[in-house]
């Protein structure tokens, strides 16, 4: 099953557009995990087991693992998801972007080592920096387009040669020229719903990975109205910290499930 097929299946089976983001920060873990070997794996495993029912996929942010020398725990976690929650696509949030042989190694890291279903990439260096990822035709490639951070406008609003903002140029480039295998998605932030709508108008039913709700304050109703595709789906709306750290107490799993369910329900109510 390709990434796109798996994602479509998950949207239908789960009745959810919620992407469960995994940004594990040991400083915010509940006391029961303090100082424990393998705490990052145990925390993420607990969150996934509690909230998987309400999600269409899982998005681990690689920096939170590598900064804590926990790449082996990420590897184990991806294996756990495949074994115990096989219907959930794994989108590795790595934002890789380099050329030639280096990009090939980044692709191998995502798709061989972690066996992710998709990976986020940075298009700043152009098509040849994405080509090694696109060579994995059954995998997904989520290209940064209009990011959720305020500073994204520093570059993404610069006018390109066709007098369009750069993020629109990226959206059109990916949808019209780079998505030859039908495996691409675009990353657009929930904090800018007007721009989500402009991207959607140009890319048809291409999937959108949309971070920025929850702790970043993106509005769910505005996000859904701007980003839904012709079937009322087409979005992986990511929430991380609001779910992960819903409670610092012994009920952290139950609290995560409660917030994930409420978020899923709020998204569905806006569809």
Token duo for residue 221: 């109703």
Active site residues: 95
- Written as six digits, the tokens of 117 are 């279903």
- pLDDT mean values, one per 10 residues, the chain (271 residues): 97 97 97 93 98 98 98 98 98 95 97 98 95 97 88 76 87 95 95 92 97 80 95 95 95 98 96 88
Question: Across the chain, which distance is largest between two alpha carbons, in Å?
Answer: 56
**How do residues 141-190 score in pLDDT, each as one tens digit?**
999 998 877 787 777 778 877 788 989 999 999 999 999 999 999 999 98
Question: What pLDDT does residue 12 have?
Answer: 95
Report the C-alpha gap between 209 and 187 in whole angstroms.
5
Q: pLDDT at position 217, please? A: 72
- pLDDT value, residue 215: 66
3-state secondary structure of 198: helix
Give the CATH number of the domain where residue 223 resides: 3.20.20.70
pLDDT of residue 148: 78
Residue 200: exposure state from Cβ atoms within 10 A (0-12, 13-18, ≥19): buried
| Total count of domains within the chain | 1
Q: Which domain holds residue 244?
A: 3-269
């Amino acid at each position: 099953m390709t990434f796109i097929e798996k994602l479509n299946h998950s949207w239908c089976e789960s009745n959810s557009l919620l992407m469960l983001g995994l940004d594990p920060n040991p400083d915010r873990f509940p006391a029961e995990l303090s100082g424990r070997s393998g705490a990052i794996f145990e925390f993420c495993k607990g969150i996934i087991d509690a909230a998987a029912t309400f999600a269409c996929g899982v998005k681990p942010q690689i920096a939170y693992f590598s900064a804590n020398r926990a790449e082996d725990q990420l590897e184990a976690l991806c294996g756990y998801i495949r074994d115990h929650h096989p219907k959930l696509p794994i989108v590795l949030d790595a934002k890789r972007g380099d050329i030639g042989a280096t990009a090939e190694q980044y692709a191998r890291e995502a798709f061989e080592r972690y066996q992710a279903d998709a990976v986020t990439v940075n298009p700043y260096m152009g098509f040849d920096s994405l080509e090694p990822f696109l060579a994995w035709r059954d995998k997904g490639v989520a290209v940064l387009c209009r990011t959720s951070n305020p500073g994204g406008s520093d570059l993404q609003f610069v006018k390109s040669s066709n007098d369009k903002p750069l993020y629109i140029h990226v959206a059109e480039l990916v949808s019209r020229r780079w998505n030859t295998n039908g495996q691409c998605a675009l990353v657009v932030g929930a904090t800018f719903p007007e721009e989500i709508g402009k991207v959607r108008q140009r890319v048809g039913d291409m999937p959108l990975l949309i971070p920025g709700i929850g702790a970043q304050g993106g509005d769910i109703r505005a996000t859904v109205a701007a980003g839904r595709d012709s079937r009322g789906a087409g979005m992986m709306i990511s929430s991380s910290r609001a779910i992960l750290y819903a409670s610092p107490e012994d009920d952290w799993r139950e609290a995560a499930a409660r917030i994930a369910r409420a978020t899923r329900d709020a998204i569905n109510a806006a569809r």
